[in-house]
A and B are shown apart, each in its own frame.
Chain A
Amino acid sequence: MALLDIQNLTVKFATQDGEVSAVSDVSLHVNKGECLGIVGESGSGKSQTFMAAMGLLAGNGKASGSVRFGDTELLTANERTLNTIRGNKLAMVFQDPMTSLTPHMRVGRQLTEVLQRHRGLDNAAARAAAIAMLARVQVPEPERRFQMYPHELSGGLRQRVVLAMGLLCGPELVIADEPTTALDVTVQALVLELIRELKDTQGTSFVLITHDLGVVAGLADRVAVMYAGRIVESGTVDEIFAAPKHPYTKGLLACTPRLDDPPTVLLETIPGQPPNLQNLPTGCSFHPRCVSAFEPCPVKRPLLVPAGNTLNACFLNHMQAAS
């Protein structure tokens, strides 16, 4: 039974320059105790997909489709219902730790208010629980940090505070947007270990939004690759990493340095720029940058269809599957 089930989600933004689709027809699900990795360049719609799910789109954004969390349809739920779920059973950990904390409130207060809201703890109990959680996410001297204002903490510490905030109520699903980007490597390893532990011992589900394929390979069970607002390939981590089928996924993997590469190997890059959502290429959005593009690519958009054990949206694979 899927804990989070997104069907045909489309997110559009009304801008001064017209309507822009940030997410188009995305369907995915997360099972209990599972970790789903979402991979893509910035602007691929990976964050907005889950902003829509949380009911946190900017004022000019509009979502259609369906997002079910347990028994609740989130897209049509009212604010009151959403507020009993958000921060409680469903938590989101934001990237950009520099601006994600309220500047004029002490860190401790920002943590305890979550517990007071959802668990009804008194001040002392909330404080103890918050400090314990800070310690768990590897914040040194948690009692002292508890008293500090966000600007007094380093970027890495703030990132951990934001993570702690998400984990406080023991949520069923944590959506983590680039949770380790601001951290140095040793802390990053500790935080990833914590996520793995929560997943294994408490059955917490995770969505890891990242462009760090190493993190996905180490932690995720399944992975979905997004490009220009659409999923272009999805499957289990083992399958995708062992045998990527979509040229974009192949390109992404080729961009990632590997430990077993000899030091002389040059890193590959994907040519060109991520597309402008206001003015998407015709057909397959990726075709202008694609090394294997052929006749149908600029004309028709390939659908996301099963190919072997994975789903992918590329004519190359559709042809191979057909033949």
Chain B
Amino acid sequence: MWSYFARRLLIGVPTLFAVVLFCFFLMRLAPGGPFDGEAPVPPEVLANLRARYHLDDPLWQQFFSYLGNLLRGDFGPSFKYKDFTVTELIAQGLPVSIENGLSALFIAILIGLPLGITAALSQNTARDYAVSGLSMIGIVIPTFVTGQILILAFGVWLRCTPFQLPAGGWNDGAFANRILPVTVLALPFIAYIARISRASMIEALRANFVRTARAKGLPYRTVILRHALKTALMPVVTFLGPATAFILTGSMVVETIFQIPGIGRYFVQGALNRDYTLVMGVTIVGAAFVIIANIIVDMIYGVLDPKVRYE
């Protein structure tokens, strides 16, 4: 198991290298640079800027110096946030995004899983239809719409009631400031997890081994919890890999709407400002996270399914 873990990590390294390489050349090939602002910059100033950021060096030289810096944890200076290095911005934004993302995933599992499984156990009843319908709504309505609706509801309509919540800002991660963003982030995942676990539980209930368990005279509860549940969990676990990537996308929206200083917001800002180094930094960190999440998911899968043996 541990050797498998080590090997997966080792495969992760070239993947990450490919991301860095691809990102780097994509950025450098881009038409228009970070200094093409609305106001034309005088040529001398532009030349200075280009020299300062080594934009005139040969491309491969720029790449290797970037790679070398990267290995030392230096993502370079931000083009737009002149007073900060990208490393500082990421160090500041990453914990915020991780906390929110993990809280959202945790809540999504906590709510989505029981919803999906109880729906499967009462298939074709009102409860089942309600869960299926609600989860489809959760999937279909974009995050920025639910976000704005919740801001309106809790920030405006419920103003001056005990239910009022801060509709934006981070306030150094005060609990009240987290409630809305985490909820908005979690909603589609509650829906996805409910949908996936419902489908997989229905499938598990049809399996021959569940029939065997029932033929043994085991109580229904034991049949479900001991025999069916683990199999039904597999697809949910598999989903958690891509879910990490979705959460990253979701944080871009949520952090922008709620003005939260996380890496999602930095990425959006960076992309719109053509802040090459910042965008690359966030992309690399994000990719690293998704790669690690996938490895963790594979490990959990291995624990759940004895058939997956890591030789």
Contacts and interface: CB of A to CB of B under 8 A. Distances in A.
A85 interface: yes
Contacts of A56: 211, 214-215
A27 to B, nearest CB: 23
A101 B215 contact: no
B305 A104 contact: yes
A9 interface: no
A323 B76 CA distance: 105
Nearest to B202: A59
Interface stretch (A89-97, A126-134, A193-201): A89-97
Contacts of A83: 217-219
A86 B219 CA distance: 11
B285 interface: no
Contact of A92 (B215, B222, B305): B215
B217 A99 contact: no
A96 B214 contact: no
Secondary structure class of chain B's binding surface, majority of residues: helix
Interface of B: 123, 206-220, 222, 226-227, 230-231, 304-307
A87 interface: yes
Contact of B209 (A58, A79, A82, A99): A99
Given A102-B213, A102-B226, 16 more contacts: A54-B215, A83-B218, A86-B215, A88-B217, A100-B209, A105-B226, A113-B216, A113-B226, A114-B216, A117-B216, A117-B217, A117-B218, A149-B306, A149-B307, A151-B306, A151-B307
Nearest to A111: B216
A103 interface: yes
Contact of B306 (A54, A85, A104, A114): A104
Nearest to B306: A149
A165 B212 contact: yes
B218 A104 contact: no
Contacts, number: 78
A84 interface: yes
A103 B218 contact: no
16 contacts: A55-B214, A56-B215, A82-B217, A83-B219, A87-B215, A94-B212, A99-B207, A102-B212, A102-B213, A103-B306, A104-B305, A114-B217, A117-B218, A149-B306, A149-B307, A151-B306
B211 A86 contact: no
Interface residues of A, number: 32
Interface of A: 54-56, 58-59, 79, 82-88, 91-92, 94, 96, 99-105, 113-114, 117-118, 149, 151, 162, 165
B303 to A, nearest CB: 10
B217 A118 contact: yes
Nearest to A152: B306
A87 B211 CA distance: 12
A38 to B, nearest CB: 17
Nearest to B220: A79
Nearest to A95: B208
A88 B219 CA distance: 13
A86 B208 CA distance: 16
Given A59-B123, A149-B307, A105 B227 contact: yes
Looking at A101, A102, A105, A151, which has the most chain B CB atoms within 10 Å of its CB?
Answer: A102
B208 A94 contact: yes
Contacts of A103: 209, 231, 305-307
Nearest to B230: A104
Given A105-B227, A149-B306, A151-B306, A100 B212 contact: yes
Contacts of A102: 209-210, 212-213, 226-227, 231
A196 to B, nearest CB: 23
Nearest to A79: B220
A101 to B, nearest CB: 6
B232 to A, nearest CB: 11
B120 to A, nearest CB: 11
B208 A96 contact: yes
Given A59-B123, A149-B306, A151-B307, A104 B215 contact: no
Contacts of A100: 208-209, 211-212
Nearest to A54: B215
B247 to A, nearest CB: 28
